[in-house]
């Protein structure tokens, strides 16, 4: 009696779970720690831990150039954050380099998460953690973008950003991404309004794509679909070698 082989147990995927925990800690500690210098340093360390965990997924895929790019962006982000580097374009028009480099780092981690999610792995705790973290990082990426736009477009929002601007824009971004929209923070500039609308669309699209991907992955322990066997085309017979009837 032929028995079907048991599915091979998969190794745990710590990078996705560590990435989720670091992102949740970053979001929960940020409102309390961001206004204070020592707390801001702790927030920066949590942000770096999030980036490192995200790049750990890349190490598993063997993509080395992305790691070097992340290292260069991280060094620039640290320098811009410590020294408060800002590019001035005119009266009250500033470009915060820390927000720009932070946006680039988050987009790099998001690209790694999307690449790993589309590999067709069976459903597991690591895959779920990566999918949920990607949703949170998408909101943080738009928060960095709003921070940049607030410096380039004065009066972009109905309320001026406080000293802890990261918390301010992250709160608005996550509410917009989830289509909650409490209404206490409203974009006034037409371009920022369009960006906020696009963020809502991105949130719906991300949810639809990731849910479809997770459903297609199947339950834990499901082996990947086997590729069909190679079919060898029959060789044509020679006219002179036909068998007699």
Residue with tokens 């690209």: 111
Q: Quick one: tokens of 13?
A: 């995927």
47 vs 154, which has greater pLDDT?
A: 47
Q: Measuring CA to CA, which residue among 112, 125, 126, 101 is closest to residue 47?
A: 101
Q: What is the pLDDT of residue 238?
A: 60
Q: Looking at residues 130-159, what average pLDDT do you find?
A: 95
Asked whether residue 220 carries a pLDDT value surpassing 80, the answer given is: no
Q: What is the pLDDT of residue 230?
A: 53
Phi/psi-derived region of residue 85, left when phi > 0, alpha when psi is between -120 and 50, beta in every other case: beta
Q: What is the pLDDT of residue 181?
A: 82
Query: Is the distance from CB of 168 to CB of 119 less than 8 angstroms?
Result: no
Residue-wise pLDDT tens digits, 162-194: 877 899 999 999 999 999 888 899 999 999 999
Q: What is the pLDDT of residue 218?
A: 64
Q: How far apart are CA 32 and CA 201, in angstroms?
A: 30
Grade residue 215 by pLDDT with cuts at 50, 70 and 90: confident
Q: How far apart are CA 225 and CA 177, in angstroms?
A: 34
Q: What is the pLDDT of residue 11?
A: 44
In angstroms, the Cα distances linking 59 to 12, 53, 70, 145 are: 15, 10, 12, 27
Residue-wise pLDDT tens digits, 84-121: 898 988 777 889 999 999 999 999 999 989 888 888 77
Asked whether residue 236 carries a pLDDT value surpassing 90, the answer given is: no
Grade residue 239 by pLDDT with cuts at 50, 70 and 90: low
Q: How far apart are CA 5 and CA 149, in angstroms?
A: 56
Lowest mean pLDDT among 79-88, 207-216, 236-245: 236-245
Nearest 5°: phi and psi at 90?
Answer: 165, -160
Q: Which long-range contacts (CB under 8 A, 24 or more apart) does 194-199 make?
A: 195/142, 195/145, 195/146, 195/149, 199/139, 199/142, 199/173
Residue-wise pLDDT tens digits, 3-61: 555 544 444 467 789 999 999 999 999 999 988 888 999 999 999 999 998 888 755 44
In this structure, the chain runs to a length of 245
Go through the domains of the chain in sequence order and give each one's CATH number.
14-219 (1.10.287.70)
Q: What is the pLDDT of residue 185?
A: 94
Q: What is the pLDDT of residue 235?
A: 57
Q: What is the pLDDT of residue 99?
A: 94
Q: What is the pLDDT of residue 8?
A: 41
Q: What is the pLDDT of residue 61?
A: 47
């Amino acid at each position: 009696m032929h028995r079907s082989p048991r599915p091979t147990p998969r190794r745990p995927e710590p990078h996705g779970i560590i990435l989720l925990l670091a992102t949740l800690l970053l979001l929960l500690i940020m409102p309390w720690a961001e206004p204070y210098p020592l707390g801001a340093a702790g927030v920066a360390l949590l942000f770096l831990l999030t980036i490192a965990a995200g790049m750990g997924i890349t190490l598993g895929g063997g993509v080395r150039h992305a790691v070097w790019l992340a290292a260069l962006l991280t060094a620039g982000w640290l320098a811009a954050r410590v020294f408060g580097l800002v590019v001035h374009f005119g009266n009250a028009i500033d470009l915060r380099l820390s927000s720009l480099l932070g946006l680039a780092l988050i987009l790099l981690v998001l690209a790694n998460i999307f690449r790993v999610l589309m590999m067709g792995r069976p459903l597991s705790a690591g895959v779920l953690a990566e999918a949920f973290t990607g949703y949170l990082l998408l909101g943080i990426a738009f928060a960095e973008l709003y921070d940049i736009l607030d410096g380039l477009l004065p009066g972009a929002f109905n309320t001026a950003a406080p000293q802890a601007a990261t918390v301010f824009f992250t709160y608005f971004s996550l509410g917009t991404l989830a289509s909650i929209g409490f209404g206490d923070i409203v974009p006034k500039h037409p371009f920022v309004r369009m960006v906020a609308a696009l963020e809502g669309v991105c949130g719906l699209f991300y949810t639809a794509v990731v849910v479809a991907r997770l459903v297609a992955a199947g339950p834990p322990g499901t082996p990947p679909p086997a590729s069909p066997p190679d079919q060898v085309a029959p060789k044509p017979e020679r006219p002179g070698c036909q068998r007699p009837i």
